[in-house]
Structure 1
Amino acid sequence: MTSTTDRETLVVFDWNGTVMDDVSRATNAMNQVLSHYDRDDITEDDVRRTFRLPMTEWTTALGLPDEAADLWSVEVSFLDAAARPEAHAVLLELRSAGVVVGVASAASEAAVVADARRCGLIDVIDLLATGVSDKTEYLRSVRRLADRAVYVGDCEYDVECARAAGFEAVAIAGGYRSVADLESAMPDVVVTDLGDVAGLVTATIRS
Structure 2
Amino acid sequence: MKPRHELIIFDWDGTLMDSIAKIVRCFAAAFEDAGAPDPGEDAIRHIIGLGLGEAVTELLPEANATTRDQVVERYRQHFLHLDQTGMELFPGVRAGLEDLSAHGYLLAIATGKARRGLDRVLRDTGTAHLFCATRCADEAFSKPHPRMLEDILEQVGLEAGTALMVGDTTYDMQMARHAGMDRLAVTYGVHGRELLAEHDPLACLDSFTEVYEWLRRMGGVSSVTAVNS
TM over 0.5: yes
Higher mean C-alpha displacement, 56-65 vs 9-18: 56-65
Give the whole-Å Cα distance in 2 for the aligned partners of 1:50 and 1:8.
28
Q: Is the CA contact (8 Å cut-off) linking 1:32 and 1:75 kept in structure 2?
A: yes
For residues 60-97 of structure 1, give each alpha carbon's deviation from its aligned partner in whole angstroms, at most 9, with x where no partner exists: 34325543345434432234421112210111121012
For the pair 1:119 / 2:128, whether they are aligned, the reply is no
1:192 CA displacement: 1.4
CA distance in 2, matches of 1:139, 1:51: 18
Match of 2:158 among 127, 145, 153: 145
After TM superposition, list the pairs within 5 Å mapping 1:12-27 onto structure 2: 12-27=9-24
Counterpart in the other structure of 2:80: 77
CA contact (8 A) 2:51 2:113 kept: no
How many pairs does the alignment contain?
201
Taking only aligned residues, the RMSD between alpha carbons, in angstroms, comes to: 2.7
For the residue of structure 2 that corresponds to 1:145, the secondary structure is coil
2:213 is paired with a residue whose SS is: helix
Does the C-alpha gap of structure 1 residues 189 and 70 become closer, same or farther in structure 2, counting only changes over 3 Å?
farther
Cα deviation, residue 187, structure 1: 2.5
Q: In the alignment, which of 1, 7, 13 is matched to residue 10 of structure 1?
A: 7
Rounded Cα–Cα distance in structure 1 between residues aligned with 2:43 and 2:192: 11
How far 1:175 moved relative to its partner? 1.6
Q: Which has the larger radius of gyration?
A: 2
Bigger Cα displacement from structure 2, 152-161 vs 193-202: 193-202
Give the deviation of 1:23 after TM superposition: 0.9
Cα distance, 1:171–1:74 mapped onto 2, change above 3 Å: farther
Alignment of 1:1-207 (within 5 A): 9-39=6-36, 44-49=41-46, 51=48, 53-63=50-60, 64=63, 65=65, 66-67=68-69, 68-69=71-72, 71-78=74-81, 79=83, 80-130=86-136, 131-134=138-141, 135=143, 136-143=146-153, 144-145=157-158, 148-206=162-220
CA contact (8 A) 1:149 1:167 kept: yes
Deviations 1:133-187 (Å, cap 9, x if unpaired)? 3251121233342662011111111100111112211121222223333223332
The ranges of structure 1 where at least 4 consecutive aligned residues each deviate by more than 6 angstroms after the TM superposition are none
Q: Which runs of 5+ in 1 are unaligned?
A: 1-6
CA contact (8 A) 1:48 1:178 kept: no
Once the two structures are superposed, what CA deviation does each residue of 1:2-55 show, in whole Å capped at 9, x if it has no partner?
xxxxx9600011111211101111111101211123245566444334557344
Q: 1:44 to 1:94 in 2, by over 3 A?
A: farther
Q: Distance in 1 between matches of 2:50 and 2:87?
A: 20
Structure 2, unpaired ranges of 5+: 222-229
What is the TM-score of this pair, normalised by structure 2?
A: 0.75
Letter of the 2:120 counterpart: A
Q: Secondary structure at the match of 2:196?
A: helix
